[in-house]
Amino acid sequence: MENAMAAPAAVIRHLQYASLPNGSQLHYASAGERGRPLMLFVHGFPEFWFEWEDQLAEFGRTHFAVAPDLRGYNLSSKPAEVEAYRPRHIVEDLVQFVSALGYDQAVVVAHDWGGAICWNLAIQHPELVRQLVIVNSPHPYLFAKALATDPEQQAASAYMNWLRKPGAEKALAANDFALLDRMLADADGKPAAWYTEETRERYHAAWSQPGEDGVHPLAGGVNFYRASPMHPPGEGEPPPDISRLDPAAFVIKVPTLVIWGERDRALPKSLLNGLEEFVQDLRVERIPEGSHWVIHEQPERVNLLIRSAVA
């Protein structure tokens, strides 16, 4: 690890594209030499590949480090239909993307919605995931259970129902993306130190990229919420029925590191309770002062934790 950390930061290349057999085109950034072991970095909402800039520069020293824009985001395909954003389609994108890069296995690092997708990737395609690193993204069964039974989690996740409503993308874009800028504030509601004017401009540019056939630039990201069965009950609705979910179908069989900023307002640390029952080879690293955006707040610490887990 010392030799890796002493090497110069890797150069990041972007404006690269992979055309997938399912018709999707994913834009991606990369660092390091193709042919080295693949590390795949998967962003969440409302981000894009740039979330992983510090990680690409670090892990490109030793790996072929790649961060795609998920479908619906920035420069990747943005289909109009909500159905196109069901989790199975996003998982399929990643499976085909790894193959398009010339690999059959990857270390997978993921955050937020990217984590939700990659929990499923590891469940459905364990042969593809050499190691899994999750940052502030709950295991799907534990999250479904919390949405069904935990009033505190239901309240914390109420924003999901707002995002599912018609017009949410226009509301997010209003007043020069004021709501999205506020979302990236720190846990105390003050401007985050990492969210500099330069970084803000990068995000605003990504949020402004148009979709096909007049699709709103933010519709793809919002459609992840609309297409997902995971959301708290709305007013007057019964809680979701999880009785048909078989816990045994949600077991993770690959080595897994979970990094959790404990000041996450939407995803409280209680979502870690019981995780050891679903992950056979689990290590959890808690960052008490970290928020949902801990990757940006403490990139060096996050990098050290990831490096300690990567073979």
The catalytic residues are: 112, 225, 292
Give the angle 115-281-225 at the CA atoms, nearest 5°.
15
Collect all residues with Cβ–Cβ distance below 8 Å to 155 and sequence separation of at least 6.
Answer: 232
**How far, in whole angstroms, is CA 247 from its chain's centroid?**
23
DSSP category for residue 275:
G
DSSP category for residue 212:
G
Mapped onto helix, strand or coil, the DSSP state of residue 124 is helix
Q: What token pair was written down for 106?
A: 């990857």
Give the angle 157-76-175 at the CA atoms, nearest 5°.
55
- Taking the CA of residue 183 as centre, how many other CA atoms within 13 Å lie in the half-sphere pointing to its CB? 14
Burial of 120 (0-12, 13-18, 19+ CB in 10 A): middle
Is residue 306 a contact partner of residue 182, using CB atoms and an 8 Å limit?
no
Provide the H-helix boundaries in the chain.
2-6, 53-59, 87-100, 113-124, 140-149, 151-156, 158-164, 168-183, 197-207, 219-227, 294-297, 299-309
Is residue 31 a contact partner of residue 11, using CB atoms and an 8 Å limit?
yes
